[in-house]
Structure 1
């Protein structure tokens, strides 16, 4: 018999069922286990605790909203003040002309929304054959139907039978491979191209210089919708609000989640350009027949507004800009270690340390992750690497603890 009935995502339950790591509280950039020991949250949970843990302001905003109106749907003509306010705020921040906002309950739903909307946009425009969706190798776009179908991490795609048809993947770091795929498939058969500004779960790969600008230009040349998956990158993680500003991008759609509430409550969505919204907003009789039960949830929207207040008041996106170099330097300090193959980062408050093929073949990655945790720092195994993405409130001293734990963990390994 196991000690738990909880089935953990992405977990080998044979191993996990009797060896759980129980987190009981958190404050600032730290979490605490059931024995009371503190650990630096080097991953901001799953990339999302941007303002840190224990922010009473967000809790109070949610509680106050629940006393007024805890929940109500926004289907058809229904709305509520917090959802309206949040949509307005996000649309004004977006580097997109005449932006609209469609809310979901997480990043996976945001990707499904963007993919379905891209296909239906072309159908409304009289080009129903434009259904192909292109994405990149190593890409992670969640685990819902569309996200699994367009994802580029093969382990996440296998064993599920036939996935979403009419999808294709191109090299993650070569704009010309996108151009070649367009020529092969035909631009008039393609609905959209999806790309993360910085690849997250696929191993944490910052874009090659000029790559994002190049693929955006290629999409524009062929009238293909460009969708930025900013679920990880948004709300200060790479600087800026929607995770695309530092490259001067103006995508047709931006998927967001995680940092919009710093994880205090589940929320995602898609910022949609006026161009894509036009056939649904300006022409009668074309409803987008899609939506989540909790879309526009007033309590969640109120929590998001409080979270964005903190991000804005404390200028945390610019803090991420200032701290990306110290974090990268802390990780590159172990680049010469014999167990390390590569260190990636330097774009936002994100980084990864990849182990050598020999160490990976020996099963060293999960052992190193646990060793670093024993040293008091939480990191995440991603493919061939261990990734870090601390809260935006992290201090340089705490960043130093991350580098120190990597060095000591590698030495002990």
Structure 2
């Protein structure tokens, strides 16, 4: 069999050769493959296709912007009107008052720029020893150097020569604020720059926060002068039924990272929102103000910014954030019916994203492969779990059909558990 030229992301290549699914078109909540199969996109691709696929007005916006200004950087004195307009829009909806906006090319970029900024901030205000970044076990923060280093998924850090590509990272138990307190005591608050967490843990298996957890984390951050970073790359722009999960869970972050839902995947865009405490030292007048050395070639790209603006307009015009909140209730009710299944350990919902944790008798990847045969795309996550996070345009019945198909697959496997763990 011919080996593919494209080296796919996060793929064990010998296992996918001959099994790859080639998507050739998409419309609404559905994808079409080169074999003609029509599949419901039960994960909104990688958590991002919030407004659905194939919207003609998005294509028209890109076309019109390319005719006017296809690209120009925002380094130094230069900027462009679309980047400014988007930044002002993001400031107006941000969960941080008077936020500044840094734009870049995606979620992994956002993590790098946020964690570098946390260290640079402390260095500038005369506390250069505050460099250590605390994150949670089973967390996912992209795959650039900083994100790989703070990841709570060990397999993403293996094989690079050290435990972390970037020194000075620690991980604590995901639901235990006491573990964070113990880490502060052991390491010393004078050495900790920031704590970073997803409001709802995504790739780690869909884990919403335990009651009171983030309130205690924020108290510890405040009392020990540690920056709090909310990684909203997955949860931002409506996935939890409000524009940002920080609002839903009453978080007061110093930095928010975002990507994915800001364009619903129609262009590669990410960035961070920065609170006044952190941005002010870089904006105050005088020769003592430092330059924060950040930026990617396509930061503030006018076409991606135009698409983000149109995406946000669609979310508001069609009330899709409220629709996400309504779909969360349907998802929670449907997943509840699966909890009594012999092959299900637990189900979890944290907004319009759900996780189904399977028993040890069955393999999540095997189940998601079987779901393709049923006409639905789902995805295996850490902890032998299945991801459900469709576009916000899904109907109630389509969501019920999706969960029903999982039930059907599990029913078919109940009597054959010996072969499903292969």
TM over 0.5: yes
Distance of 1:337 and 1:286 partners within structure 2: 58
1:247-326 residue pairs with structure 2 within 5 A? Answer: 247-283=249-285, 284=287, 285-326=289-330
**Aligned equivalents of 1:113, 1:306: Cα separation in 2:** 25
1:3 offset after TM fit, Å? 4.7
8 Å Cα contact 2:365-2:379 kept in structure 1: no
- Aligned: 1:352 with 2:355: yes
* 8 A contact 1:141–1:148 mirrored in 2: yes
Deviates more, 1:4-13 or 1:136-145: 4-13
Which contiguous aligned blocks of 4+ residues in structure 1 show a shift greater than 6 angstroms? none
1:16 maps to which residue?
16
Distance 1:320 1:221 in 2: 35
Structure 2 residue 400 is matched with structure 1 residue 365: no
Residue in structure 1 matched with residue 214 of structure 2 by the alignment: 212
After superposition, the C-alpha distances for 1:223-245 in whole angstroms (9 at most, x for unaligned) are 11000000000000012223211
Equivalent-residue separation in structure 2 for 1:336 and 1:165 (angstroms): 44
CA contact (8 A) 1:242 1:256 kept: no
5+ residue gaps, structure 2, are 414-422
TM-score by length of 2: 0.95
Q: Are the counterparts in 1 of residues 268 and 304 from structure 2 also a CA contact under 8 Å? A: yes
Deviation at 1:96, TM superposition (A): 1.3
1:302-361 superposed Cα distances (whole Å, 9 cap, x missing partner): 00000000001111111111111111222221211111111111x2111111111232xx
- How far did 1:110 drift? 0.1
Partner of 1:240 in structure 2? Answer: 242
Deviation, 1:216, is: 1.6
Name whichever of 255-264 and 157-166 sits farther off: 157-166
Q: Give the whole-Å Cα distance in 2 for the aligned partners of 1:397 and 1:338.
A: 25
Please, which moves more after superposition, 264-273 or 9-18?
A: 9-18
Note the aligned Cα RMSD (angstroms). 1.1
Name the residue aligned to 2:229.
227
Query: Matches of 1:13 and 1:148 in 2, distance apart?
Result: 21
Give TM-score scaled by structure 1 length.
0.97
Q: Is the 8 A contact 2:243 2:321 kept in 1?
A: yes
Q: Is the 8 A contact 1:237 1:348 kept in 2?
A: yes
Instruction: Give the CA deviation at 1:17.
Output: 2.0
Map residues 125-274 of structure 1 onto 2, 5 A cutoff. Answer: 125-162=125-162, 163=164, 164-274=166-276
Q: Which residue of 2 aligns with 1:49?
A: 49
Q: Which residue of 1 aligns with 2:83?
A: 83
Whole-Å Cα distance in 2 between the matches of residues 24 and 412 of structure 1?
Answer: 30
8 Å CA contact 1:101–1:270 kept in 2: the answer is yes
Q: CA deviation at 1:222?
A: 1.2
> Which stretches in structure 1 are left out of the alignment for 5+ residues?
none
The residue number in structure 2 matching 1:330 is 334
Contact 1:330 1:402 in 2 (8 A): no
